[in-house]
Amino acid sequence: MRTLTGLQPSGKLHIGNYFASIKQMLQAQNRGEELFIFIANYHALTSVNDGNKLKNATYEAAAAFLALGIDPDKSTFWVQSDVKEVLELYWILSGYTPMGLLERSHAYKDKVAKGFETKHDLFSYPVLMAADILLYSANFVPVGKDQIQHVEIARDIALKFNNAYGEILTMPETRIDENVATISGTDGAKMSKSYSNTIDIFSDAKTLKKQISSIKTSSEPLEAPKEWKDCNVYNIAKLFLNEEKQKNLQLRYEKGGEGHGHFKAYLNELIWDYFKEARDKFEYYINNKNKLDEILDIGAKKARKEALNLIEKIRKATGIYR
């Protein structure tokens, strides 16, 4: 069974990316599943209009994936734009995508509501995402709850295409960890680069402390018991803790005598220690871009071979013969 996922290089990876998506990738890889992972630089163009920034961010994303445990010998790992067939499929699938389907996109409506410019690339984003999924015949796509609709759109488009040409496209399914499907950011909303509420994985100590200090909390006297269930510091900290340590942290909240500053300091320590080994590996890769290029080139060849297997069938079915 084939699992596929991708992340945009439009900013630094944050713990929301890790727990909602990357951790699932690593689990799938360790189970011996066929794992396809790409850096979605075409998608990033919806929000990044600085060429040097996007190039550097793509290298950073590649280094981060590898540092966090993606093994290019076990998984297929590449940059989206290295397989141009995804754009060809994007255009073909556009002919099987009703406007109403895109108009109902939660992600599009949410970004417009937050002041994003209404552009075609943002509007047709789900079609390119469908092409990403369908081009590699993915069986499963790990997503957060807010991304389920994108896979549903891919299924709808695939069904329309298959109704026209036969069973060519694989119908993908979502894979969700219900416990961590949506990770809260520092303001309590979904953690997202778009909302500037992230806690970054590979930041320096000063930046990490600043981000954690910005987490919104309630105001109670130091000696008073604290509510942990709705505390954003606790909800982030529990991602790093087993059941016993979660219970111990709950007792600290209920006992009183500590302020939210103490719990933020504890969270800072948790995150810093958890990603220590990954930070060291990240520094190695980011300072050896030739090694990154070598790994990505190999991954792109593997991905394109798979893409061509399907695109040739699609070209034949649709009459694109040259």
Residue 247 confidence class, pLDDT cut points 50, 70, 90: very high
Q: Choosing from 23, 190, 226, 238, which is the catalytic residue?
A: 190
Per the annotation, the verdict on 247 as an active-site residue is: no
> Residue 116: what pLDDT?
79
Whole-structure pTM value: 0.85
Q: Is the pLDDT of residue 179 over 70?
A: no
- In terms of Cα–Cα distance, which of 152, 28, 44 is closest to 101? 152
Residue 295 confidence class, pLDDT cut points 50, 70, 90: very high
Q: Is the pLDDT of residue 245 over 90?
A: yes
Residue 300 confidence class, pLDDT cut points 50, 70, 90: very high
> How far is CA 234 from each of CA 14, 242, 246, 252, 254, rounded to the nearest angstrom?
17, 13, 9, 11, 12
Residue 309's contacts (CB-CB under 8 Å, 6 or more residues apart) are none
Per the annotation, the verdict on 281 as an active-site residue is: no
Average pLDDT over residues 314-322: 94
Q: Is the pLDDT of residue 180 over 80?
A: no
Average pLDDT over residues 95-121: 85
- CA trace torsion 52, 58, 62, 64 (10° rounding): 80
> Residue 109: what pLDDT?
81
- In terms of Cα–Cα distance, which of 261, 277, 269 is closest to 202? 277
Q: Is the pLDDT of residue 107 over 60?
A: yes
Encode pLDDT of 189-214 as tens digits: 989 887 889 999 999 999 999 999 99
**Pairing between strand 76-79 and 140-142?**
unpaired
Encode pLDDT of 150-172 as tens digits: 899 999 999 999 999 999 999 99
Residue 240's contacts (CB-CB under 8 Å, 6 or more residues apart) are 270, 271, 274
E strands in the chain: 2-7, 34-39, 76-79, 140-142, 173-175
Q: Give the whole-number percent of the chain exceeding pLDDT 70.
A: 98
Encode pLDDT of 52-76 as tens digits: 999 999 999 999 999 999 999 999 9
Q: Choosing from 23, 193, 226, 238, which is the catalytic residue?
A: 193
Average pLDDT over residues 248-273: 97
The 140-142 sheet, strands edge to edge: 76-79, 34-39, 2-7, 140-142, 173-175
Q: Choosing from 23, 74, 111, 281, which is the catalytic residue?
A: 111
Q: Which domains does the chain have, with CATH numbers?
A: 2-182+289-318 (3.40.50.620), 203-283 (1.10.240.10)
